[in-house]
């Protein structure tokens, strides 16, 4: 399948074509795709006139960037100490079972990626799960189905 560069070009065009804008451009591309496709990185390198190796250097230096395909919906389960003692691992297992993937993996249909984090800075409301940037505290296994439905429903309404 041919990669459509139009979306990437319009993201790049919103920024000054300067090296200083590189991180912001990569952040915007990642929020568009949830990861940094190779074709997008090549386009950034060409348009900003920055050697490809330097763009990759930045993309691999910052852990916020992913060079691996990620799903449309990102689920992050906190396994920091506070969330761990309040049942974080059980929540992770439940997501894992329902989606049939392990932490760090993406469902075959590219809908969901399951990730873990060590603390989100809101331990008091643990166990915490973040789905597509929305925080859910006091997480229980019972809430999982409705949250998955809620986030997939957003798609069908678009």
112-117, strands of its sheet edge to edge: 112-117, 73-78, 129-131, 134-136
The distance of closest approach from Cβ of residue 101 to ligand FES in the complex, given in angstroms and rounded to an integer, is: 21
User: Is position 71 an interface residue for ligand FES (rule: CB under 6 A)?
Assistant: no
Q: Calculate ∠ Cα 20-23-25, nearest 5°.
A: 95
Please say which residue, 11 or 91, places its beta carbon nearer to ligand FES: 91
Tell me if residue 115 falls in helix, strand or coil.
Answer: strand
H/E/C letters for each residue in 118-148? CCCCCHHHCCCEEECCEEECCCCHHHHHHHH
Chain residue at closest Cβ approach to ligand FES: 80
Encoded one letter per residue, x for contact with ligand FES by CB under 6 A and - for no contact, window 107-146 reads ------------xxxxx--x-x------------------
In angstroms, give the least distance from the CB of 129 to ligand FES. 10
Binding residues for ligand FES (CB under 6 A): 78, 80-83, 119-123, 126, 128
């Amino acid at each position: 399948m041919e990669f459509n560069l139009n979306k990437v070009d319009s993201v790049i065009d919103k920024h000054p074509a300067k090296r200083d804008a590189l991180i912001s451009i990569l952040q915007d591309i990642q929020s568009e795709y949830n990861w940094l496709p190779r074709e997008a990185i090549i386009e950034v390198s060409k348009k900003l006139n920055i050697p490809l190796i330097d763009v990759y250097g930045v993309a691999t230096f910052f852990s916020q960037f992913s060079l691996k395909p990620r799903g449309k919906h990102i689920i992050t389960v906190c396994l920091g100490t506070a969330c761990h003692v309040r049942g974080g691992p059980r929540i992770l297992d439940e997501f894992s079972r329902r989606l049939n993937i392990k932490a760090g993996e993406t469902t075959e249909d590219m809908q969901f990626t399951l990730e873990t984090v060590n603390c989100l800075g809101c331990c008091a409301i643990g166990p915490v799960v973040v789905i597509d940037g929305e925080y859910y505290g006091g997480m229980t296994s019972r809430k999982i189905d409705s949250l998955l439905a809620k986030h997939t429903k957003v798609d069908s309404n678009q």
